Amino acid sequence: MTSMQTPLHNITLPASVSDAGVVMREDKFRGHLNLRGNPQDAAFTDAVAQVLGVALPLAPNTSAEQGSTRIYWLCPNEWLLLVAEGTQGQVEADLRAALAHQHIAVTDLSSGQTLVNLSGAKLDELMMKSAVYDCHASNFPVGKVVQTTFAKAGATIYKCEDGSFDLVIRRSFSDYFFLWLKDASKEYGLSVI
């Protein structure tokens, strides 16, 4: 039996930098599900809240979180669900059962994307040169979610409570993403956890 490898399993780590201005950590412990449905149908929103233990965020660019489940609003009828790794199959089955008579779509994206957390004293500078969206604290409060580009690659960016950013990127862009990050943070120092 072979073990699953993360998209960034083969990165070449830069030399260890004790005072790195940018810190990258790949979150290997999340399952990713895409959910589509009618947010104006109370039967849909109630059933999803019952299964996930948290209500869907309905306002643009918002998120909701409960325990190990986090939900990103992507568009008026689409959400990205981040659940504990290994539970995505059961969560998908539970959603399908609870929403059996509704027009919905649930897709497991876990093997097609990854979540990377970026933090550090020079994070703001890195984000300014890498993202086309204005990630300044005055424009990007905690809990906000945007779909934009990071270094010319599509990314869903979320502002964490500790001021760091979680980026959901496609698996096929993971090598490109890391090479960009390594180069863009050269002047600040990069630490990979």
**CATH number for the domain harbouring residue 138:** 3.30.1360.120
How many C-beta atoms surround the C-beta of residue 165 within 10 A? Answer: 20
* Domain count of the fold of the chain: 2
Per the DSSP assignment, residues forming a β-bridge with 148 are 155
Residue 1: predicted pLDDT: 37
| DSSP 8-state symbol, 76 | T
Residue 74, CA distances (Å) to 16, 25, 125 in order:
36, 23, 26
| Residue 82, in any domain of the structure | yes
CATH number where 71 lies: 3.30.70.1520
Residues 41 and 93 in one domain: yes
Q: Where would I find the beta strands (DSSP E) of the chain?
A: 22-27, 30-36, 63-66, 69-75, 78-84, 105-108, 113-119, 145-150, 153-159, 165-170, 190-192
| 37-90 per-position pLDDT tens digit | 999 999 999 999 999 999 999 999 999 999 999 999 999 999 999 999 999 999
| 113-161 per-position pLDDT tens digit | 999 999 999 999 999 999 999 999 999 999 999 999 999 999 999 999 9
> Using alpha carbons only, how large is the chain's radius of gyration in Å?
17
Range of the domain at 99: 30-110
147/71 Cα distance (integer angstroms): 14
Residues 105 and 88 in one domain: yes
Is residue 12 over pLDDT 70? no
